[in-house]
Amino acid sequence: MNITTPSLKSGFILLAAIALTHTGCNSEDSPSTSVTSNNVSAAPASTLGDNASGGDSGDTSAGAPGGSSGGDSGSYSGGGKGGNSTGPQLPPGLVACSGNVIFDSLPISLTDLGGSGIIPLGNLNPPAHTFPTFHTYYQIKDSNGGGAPVDKITVYAPGDMIIGSISSVRTVASGKTDYKAVFYPCADFEGYFDHLSELSADLKSAFDAASGNCQTYDPGTGNVELCSKPLSFAIKSGAVLGSAGGPTTDSAALDFGGRDKRVSSLSFVTPARLQQGANGFDLAHVVCPSDYFRSDLKAQLEAKYAGKSGANPACGVFAQDLKNTAQGLWYLAGTTNPVTSEASHFAFAHSNTDPSKPVLSVGNSTVGSGAFSYTASNSGLKNRDPAEISADGNVYCFESLTKSLSGGSAAGIIFILQIPTAATLKLEKKSANACGDGPWTFSQAAVAFER
């Protein structure tokens, strides 16, 4: 292999227990009532050899990333199961990364991908994913032809690496469980798989034996048990990590994300809005996992990205903030830092599968949650691209909208928007079939956002 890998010892080393990392299915779910917390401690096994887990608002189909059937659990905060770095300590035995080729095995068989293939970075699915997502989705094939569940598929280690932590979320009533595995092929790169439905036998034994923290709480839909455990489990490239899909999970996609401390920080208008991750593995260092594969495997993965219309990069764009324009992330006025949920906010970004299409991604329930795309115009006050809207005093109108994930018409809805200052934005959804000639005026239903 043309990669630098850690010196791996057979087995695993339990690290000091860390505080629970929230592992709920949505970042909004936080323990508030009926919480039981347990410090879980068990004697580690002596040795373990190398081991040979929505659509538009209301759309929870299996093919819609972010919905209840294929959803993600992270947020732009550090508390989500898919959010910032899981723990304060790196596993021992890691060495510095050398170059960008650190993966030399496919994480799944490409024949196990569903019809949508791999969903690029930047997916928009409010309210849980009002902001562009910071990971890719591997859609799982559905041999039932639309029935539930999707197929159970095997997930492999894409390279030699050390698994540094595993967290789980289990629905008590059904017993269905999702796992997230955070791993390190070298000291400068953190990757993770979320929505694993099962762990391999050796990895499950390591997880069960590890010390950690567990909580049980009721988010309003029944009790959920959350567990987070640090460990240091060495695994070879191509070895089985576990499974995704199948009857033991409600997830229809496998999340694959990565962060690289070596890359320049991504640009956000207000970085203080984002929580900082441990060891530099935060949202300012999000990267596309497929960029780190051997060239022949990278080409195979890029051929499976959904949509794109020949766009570059194939893997999509995560950070889309553009200062002094409407483009990027907007927060409900008065929101304190750091932001811990996306549900109240607004993003004006571009589609991750067709970057020529702007998307009004509304998490705020007062405005009316949903993601709506349109064909951009390069002149006038109707359907302008967000990058061309500035604090010019004008009120802009958006019509002929499409539900960006399902592709269905959003007939009977228009939006009006204004940027009073470079750091403030006003938005209102109205019931109308078209914008008309204007001018347009806001009612008391308008909602204020800020950078």
385 contacts: CB under 8 Å, gap ≥ 6: 327, 358, 376, 377, 378
Query: Domain map of the chain by residue range?
Result: 36-302, 328-450
Average pLDDT, the chain: 82
- Tell me the pLDDT tens digit for each residue of 176-223: 999 999 999 999 999 999 999 999 999 999 999 999 989 988 877 778
Give the model's pLDDT for residue 145. Answer: 79
39-43, 222-226, 281-285 — which one is most confidently predicted on average?
Answer: 281-285
With a cut of 70, say whether residue 66 has pLDDT above it. no
270 touches 246 (CB < 8 A)? no
Q: In the prediction, which pLDDT does 84 show?
A: 44
Q: In this predicted structure, what is the pLDDT of residue 129? A: 93
Q: Quick one: pLDDT at residue 30?
A: 32
pLDDT of residue 152: 97
pLDDT at 412: 93
Whether residue 375 has pLDDT greater than 80: yes
How confident is the model over 329-365, as pLDDT tens digits?
A: 999 999 999 898 899 999 999 999 889 999 999 999 9
Confidence of residue 120 (pLDDT cuts 50, 70, 90): very high
Q: Which tokens go with 194?
A: 């979320």
d(CA 362, CA 162): 38
Average pLDDT over residues 399-404: 91
pTM of the model: 0.82
Cα(80)–Cα(64) distance, rounded to whole angstroms?
Answer: 20
Q: What is the DSSP string of 13-33?
A: -PPPP-PPPP--SSTT----S
The percent of residues above 70 in pLDDT, for the chain, comes to 79
DSSP 228-281: EEEEEEEE-TT-EEEEESSTT-S--EEEEEEEETTSPPPP-S-GGGSPPPGGG-
In terms of phi and psi (left: phi > 0; alpha: psi -120 to 50; beta: otherwise), the region of 273 is alpha
Taking the CA atoms of residue 140, residue 57, residue 84 and residue 219 in that order, the dihedral angle to the nearest 10 degrees is: -100
> 154-183: buried (b, 16+ CB within 10 Å) or exposed (e) per residue?
bbbbbbbbbbbbbbbbbbeeeebbbbbbbb
Q: Report pLDDT for 260.
A: 96
Q: Could you tell me which residue, 164 or 314, shows the higher pLDDT?
A: 164
pLDDT, tens digit (0-9, with 9 covering 90-100), for 298-310: 999 999 998 765 5
Scan for tokens 């962060």, then name that residue: 259
Question: What 3-state class would DSSP assign to 329?
Answer: strand
pLDDT number for residue 274: 87
Helix or strand run (H / E) with residue 396: strand 395-398
Query: Each residue of 81-110: pLDDT tens digit?
Result: 434 444 447 888 899 999 999 999 999 999
What letter does residue 435 receive in the DSSP assignment?
-
One DSSP character per residue, 176-230 reads -EEEEEEEEEETTEEEEEEEEEEE-HHHHHHHHHS-EEEEEE--SSS-EEEEEEE
Residue 308, pLDDT score:
60
Q: State the average pLDDT over residues 235-246.
A: 97
The pLDDT value recorded for residue 310 is 54
Q: Is 374 exposed, middle or buried (0-12, 13-18, 19+ CB in 10 A)?
A: buried
- Fold classification of 36-302 is Glucose Permease (Domain IIA) (2.70.70)
pLDDT at residue 75 in the model? 55
Q: Give me the mean pLDDT over the 111-132 stretch.
A: 94
Measured CA to CA, the distance from residue 305 to residue 309 in angstroms comes to 10
First and final CA of the chain: distance in angstroms? 45
Q: Does 14 score more than 70 pLDDT? A: no
Least confident of 159-173, 252-266, 311-325, 434-448: 311-325
